[in-house]
Structure formats: structure tokens, C-alpha cells
Structure 1
Amino acid sequence: MNEIIFFGWNNYPKLFKNGEFAIKKPIQFKFENENEKQIKQISTGRFSTIFLFENGKAIEYLNKNDSNQNPEKIQIEENIQKVSVGVQNEAILTKEGNVFAKGKDINPNNPKEFINISSLIEDTNDRIIQDIVSGRYAIYLLTSNQNAYGIGSNRYGQLGFDSKALPKTEKPILMMKNVSKIFSGNTSNHVFILNSNQELFGCGWNQKGQLGLGESRKEETKIQKLTKIQNIPKGKIIDIKCGNDYSIMLIENQNENPKRKLYSCGNYQLNGLGKSLFTREFTEIKSSLFENDDNIIDFSVGNDHTLILTSNSKLIGFGYNAYGQLGTEDTKNQLIPIQIELPKLRFNEDISNYHISCGYQKSFIYYSPRPFSNLEEDLIKLFERKEFCNISFKTENGEIIEAHKLILKYRLNQNQN
């Protein structure tokens, strides 16, 4: 039972054969094979889109240069945990911790062939990968030992080294140790790394102030060494998404209402602040749309547009909209956040399990529920009816378990199918 909604640039690849070049109103995307398993993740770049399913398999749609612009569809038969697509690279993380990637900056001799880049890490004890993140021309790896590596192009200093001395690398280069998270974007040439002490560092392209380093660094278009980001908003960094020339940070602070807030730096036209200047430090995005009863569930950044989903089912967006990638039914750019009309969602009661994936001038909203626990599996086996009341009880270790009617109904339907 998938639900995938698409809007924006219907090209490279053309996902709707008979659809318009620019799909301005959100519409349902359906696979040719209706028996596909539950969707887990969507990652989309400029020339390809990968759909990952819960069964560990994936389908990749590639640009195909024919007269009808029909996409090339490839089934990837791997035990896949995560996928990540940039402008000119793609990476696949398997459940065993191996990373297979392709792209002209990754494998210049055969850019369409996947190679195991995790096996190229010099330290053989550091080859189990925990997470992957694609930038525009580089790929970043987080190992199980909490070390960050980068591979690919370094032309903007996005690997943390002098780009003249090291313009690119075909082997992963150690960037930082004791790392908690890596943040970048499929169209960005800059990267952020959060260490185990919750200190944030960044490097790469900084022409529009997208690294948030402040006015004192405004003359430096390339930051070629990982540099600590000062004046970070108070709270826990949940996520950072990077566009071409701006960045958006999600901060959670338990002592404030709403608990989650968005902050932006970079190009003023695309950062949602509605100001005619560059913001070279992370500044809060304020809007009447973010009311006290809202909580940000998910957000995503494309090349130069942003979409946000809140807990009361509001879809909010701003930025470039020439291809309808904001879903506003027109092509008018939006400098400040506006609310976008969502189509009727099949699982609206379960809004926290919806996700957003923005790529190069295109957008997806999709339903991807969290994996079920063993206890929930056992509860499903106990009941034969299609309707359930909510069940709440305490386990031996004091954990409160809630078995929601919607989740149980959904799982039962999945099992029956």
C-alpha cells in the first residue's frame, strides 16, 4: 500500500509519459507493477530518481535520450538500507554496511557502473558504513566507528582540502573523527559535519553565505578546511538540508513552543526570510503559518526550493517555482513561506509517517511507516477483526506501548494482501 505524490519538473527522467513538462499540481504517482512492496525512501537528483522498498530492493528511473524521453527503468537487486542521489553521482548503502556508488567523479573510466567505494577506505577496520549522504559532485560516508569520509569532486573545497592540490579523489578521504551526523544536499557544493560533542563544522562553496560563518568570512567563496560554525541557535540540531546556495537547519528546544524551529542562511531570494539581503548567519524563518500548535515533521530542500510538513497536515513551501515544484498550480516564485493545498491523503491520521524528498526542480511526498516492533507483530496475530480500539499498556521494563487502531488495521491489510 504505497502513496507517492509528485509535482514539478517531469523530465530527466520523465516519470509521467503522457504528463506535461511542468506538473504544477500534486498528483499521485503509481508504479506499473501495483504489487510493489511498501516504499521506504525516495531519493531524486537531476537525471535520476531511486525508489527504495522495505524489502531491500530498489527501482531506478534514469534519463534516456530518446525522442519520447521515456525513462530507463532498472531493478536493483540488493539488500539495500539507504539510497542517495546527487546531480552526478548515486550511492547505495547495503544492510551489511557496504556502499556502492557511480558517477563521473567516482568512477571516471565507467561512470555508469556501480563500484564498492567502502572497500577503498585505507583503514580496513573502518569499512563498515553507517550512513551515506550525496552532495552535488561528492559523496560522504559515516562509518560505524563514527568517522566521516568524502569521495569525488573537491573543486569547491567540499572535501575539506585545498582544491588546487586535491581537485578530486577516487578513494574516500578521512575528513573528521568522532562524528555524529553529516549533512549536505543533492545539488549543493558544501557540507556540514556534527561531531560527538554537538559542535558543527562546515566547508565548501560559500559565495552566498550558505555555510553560516558570518560577515567576517564573506570574502571567502571557498572554505577549504572544516571550520567551526559559531552562533548556532540554542537547542538540538535535528537536521540540516542544503540547496545550491542556501542551508536550512531544524532545531529542537524542549523549553520553547513550538519545540521545533527552522533557521536559514544563504541567498535571500530562496531562504524564506523575505529580506533583500544575504543572511550569512543562521536566522529563524518566521511565519504566521508556524502556529503554536504546529510541529515540523519533515522538510526537504531541492536546488532552490523548500517544502515543509507540519503535524497538523500543513504543507508549506517557498523558493523557485518555474516548473511547479512548489505544487501551487502556477509557476510564481515565492520569497516567503506559503501554504500549499495537499491532495487528500490516504493515511492522513498517520501524518507523522509522511516524508518529503525534493530534487532538482521536482518534489515527492510519500508515506513510509516506521518498522513494526515484535510486540505489534504479536498483537496483530492475536486479533482477527478489521477494527481495533487503541491499546495502551506498560511492559516489564516500564515502557509505555500504544498499539494504534490505524497501524494495526494497516498491518492487517498488508498481511492479507
Structure 2
Amino acid sequence: MNEILFFGLNNYPKFIKNEPDRITKPIQFKFENENENENENENEKQIKQISSSEFSTIFLFKNGKAIKYLKENDSNQNPQKIQIENIQKVTVGYENEAILTIEGNVFAKGKYINSKNPKEFINISSLIEDKNDRIIQDIVCSAYSIYLLTSNQNVYGIGLNQFGQLGLDYETLKKTEKPILMMKNVSKIFSGTDSLHIFLLNSNQELFGCGYNEYGQIGLGESRAETKIQKLTKIQNISKGKIIDIKCGFTHSIMLIENENQNPKRKLYSCGHNRYNGLGKNRSTCEFTEIKSSLFENDDNILDISYDGFKPIQIELPKLRFNENISNYHVSCGYRKSFIYYSLSSFSNLEEDLIKLFERKEFCNISFKTRKWRNNRSS
């Protein structure tokens, strides 16, 4: 089993027994049933992905199996097996879950996905009208909707459309339990666990957004002037470069852009409400503007981003020593909890290093690829 570090809210469920309800420093996380399959190949026990929200946390292993913890789990707070095989990706929203299999099928559950039985997984990819478009390449959950990117580069949405997050006027479509086509020629989908907005990037690096925009979190209009963007609209005035990633919070968004002609190559931009300093700067903004901090001296090392934050800080991970070129660890952020997971074979005792994170109390918001930490740099 690979190493997992956990910090944040440690109740409902109680991830780590005999520990306080709030864990402020990363400590090792162990599954209660990790010895259940002692004869299983060690490589088959490695964590591939963790997806977490307020109500559920799913752990996906490299063998294509998954388990989950629920907020209302049994009294022992033990994980439950997910009875789906060959899983490629998992994603959870505020009140929904979706699972992508290696074969390209998507199984999902939730109040707005299957109102008759919201706790039962159903194959939503099989509900796409065009039978030639049912092989799914990627999936993303938002708070109450799920988005499917097909092998033909088409995006379908299913679930709630209260703020136009499915790309249609609310009066035309309030919700749907059948996937509807939103946009063609799409390369990436971006959204967030509790967000009510979405971004779609086409093959020409043109970005489109729709959904809840009261705080300018789509990067369009003025705050409170355009509460709903009820159709996919092109996002203008974005810095030149390749969009690597976008993460969406409830009231803000953070974008990572790479430009080979600038130094550093990678820069962060944010927009939306700054009530909890989630923008990494001192004011709210309705357009994507750069996040500037001394922590970002070498933004080439920015690895990935997640959606909640307070201010840029550094967190030193205890008892870890990295190889100089290590890059295969991951950070996963959920509702008031964060996980850092990595393979034991990736580490040596050559040097200590730091992972830089955005952090709002027990939340973390950005992870960096590790690099050698020089003694003449502040910690």
C-alpha cells in the first residue's frame, strides 16, 4: 500500500480513529481493512486517485477497484467496496458520484441523476441518444451535475440546470436525467466539487463557460450584474499561453497557464469573490488576473491546482525525503480535508524537500512538483 498523508476534518466519517476531529498537520492515513487482501500483488494496491466531497470520499486503486467512505457510514466508519470493476477514474460532487471504466462506460448516482433511486449507480453513458457517441474519455462532477467527454470530443451534461450549468436557459431545461449534448470539438472539461459553473476548452485553446456567475467566477461580466450565464460563452481577455488546468470553487476559479516565451513559464490566474482570500490576492475580480507571490518564483514547478484556499503558505511534510527528480505524488482536496499520496519506491533519504500549498486553515489549494531546497532559501 502506498503512503497517504491526511489533514483536515476527521469526523463524519472518522478517517483516522483515535485522532482528534481536526488534524492540523499531515499524518499517515491507513485503511482499516488494508490487510484484507494480503496475497494481492503490491503494485495492485497502489492508490491511483482520491476524490472527496462533504458527503463521500472515494479511493481508486491501480487495479481498477475502489472503496469509499460516506459521511453517514456505519458506526465503525469502515469503507465500503464499490461493486464496479476496471475503474479508470472517479469523481464526486456535492450530491453525486461518477465512475469511468476502462471500457468507456460511466456509472453515476445522485438525487438529480436518478431521482427514483439516488443511491443506486446507473450507466448514464448508455443513455446518450447517439449510439456512436457512448464511449466516454473523461468525466467531471460539479455540485449537482455531471459532464461526460466522449471519444468523439463531444461534451454531454446531466443533472441540475438551475444556473444554466448545462448550457441552456433554466426555463427551457430545469434538470435532466438523460445526457444532453452541450458542445462539440472539446479537449478538456473543468469544474469543481461544489461549483455551479463549468469551463470547456476546445481544440483551438478557446475557453467557454456557463453557470453561476454572481461573483464573476466565470470571468465574465461584473459582480452581481450577470448572476447566470445560461449558455456557453467565450471567455475573453485571457493571458496568452496553453491552459493547463482550471479548478472551480463555489465563488471563484483558479487557472494555470503555460507560456514557453515567458519566465517563469507557468503562471496562476484567478477570478471571483475574495471573501475567504481564495483568490490568492487581496481583492475580488470579475476577470482572470495573475496571482503574484514570492512563493511562485519558479512557477515551472506548479504541478496541479485544487479549488479552495486562504493564502499561499508552505507546509513541510514530516518524515519524507524525496529523490531530486520526484514528481509522482498527488494532492487531493475535499470538503475541509486533504490527502497527499505517493509510492514508497519514489523516495530516498538523500534530502528533505517541501511541498508548497495554498491553504485555508485545514484546506489546501495548490501543489508543486518537488525540487531541491537550498539552504539559502527561506522556509
Query: What range describes the TM-score normalised by the shorter chain of this pair?
Result: 0.7 to 0.9
* Map of 2:68 onto structure 1: 60
SS in 1 for 2:243: strand
Confirm or deny: 8 A CA contact 1:40 1:368 kept in the other structure. Answer: no
* Map of 1:50 onto structure 2: 58
Q: Which amino acid aligns with 1:210?
A: Q
Q: Which amino acid aligns with 1:181?
A: K
In 2, distance between residues paired with 1:76 and 1:347? 36
In 2, distance between residues paired with 1:112 and 1:186? 18
Q: 1:46 to 1:155 in 2, by over 3 A?
A: same
Number of residue pairs matched by the alignment: 336
* Map of 1:278 onto structure 2: 284
Runs of 5+ unmatched residues, structure 1: 307-318, 320-335, 370-417
Confirm or deny: 8 A CA contact 2:281 2:291 kept in the other structure. Answer: no
Q: Which amino acid aligns with 1:287?
A: S
TM normalised by structure 2 equals: 0.84
* Map of 2:333 onto structure 1: 358
1:396-407 to structure 2, matched below 5 A, reads none
Q: Which amino acid aligns with 2:340?
A: I
**Superposition deviation, residue 294 in structure 1:** 5.3
In 2, distance between residues paired with 1:70 and 1:94? 27
Which residue, out of 109, 118, 130, partners 1:111? 118
1:149-168 to structure 2, matched below 5 A, reads 149-168=156-175
SS in 2 for 1:106: coil
Alignment pair present for 1:232 and 2:238: yes
SS in 2 for 1:109: coil
Bigger Cα Rg:
1
Q: Which amino acid aligns with 1:357?
A: S
TM normalised by structure 1 equals: 0.77
In 2, distance between residues paired with 1:178 and 1:294? 29
**Superposition deviation, residue 4 in structure 1:** 1.1
Q: Which amino acid aligns with 1:3?
A: E
**Superposition deviation, residue 176 in structure 1:** 0.1
Q: 1:131 to 1:74 in 2, by over 3 A?
A: same
Alignment pair present for 1:131 and 2:138: yes
Alignment pair present for 1:39 and 2:40: no
Identity %: 73
Q: Which amino acid aligns with 1:291?
A: E
Q: 1:290 to 1:356 in 2, by over 3 A?
A: same
Q: 1:26 to 1:224 in 2, by over 3 A?
A: same
* Map of 2:85 onto structure 1: 78
* Map of 1:175 onto structure 2: 182
Q: Which amino acid aligns with 1:17?
A: K
**Superposition deviation, residue 214 in structure 1:** 3.9
Q: 1:187 to 1:5 in 2, by over 3 A?
A: same
Alignment pair present for 1:122 and 2:147: no
* Map of 1:296 onto structure 2: 302
In 1, distance between residues paired with 2:161 and 2:14? 30
Cα deviation 1:112-142 (Å, max 9, x = unaligned): 1000000000111100000000001000000
Q: 1:362 to 1:156 in 2, by over 3 A?
A: same
Confirm or deny: 8 A CA contact 1:12 1:48 kept in the other structure. Answer: no
Q: 1:294 to 1:192 in 2, by over 3 A?
A: closer
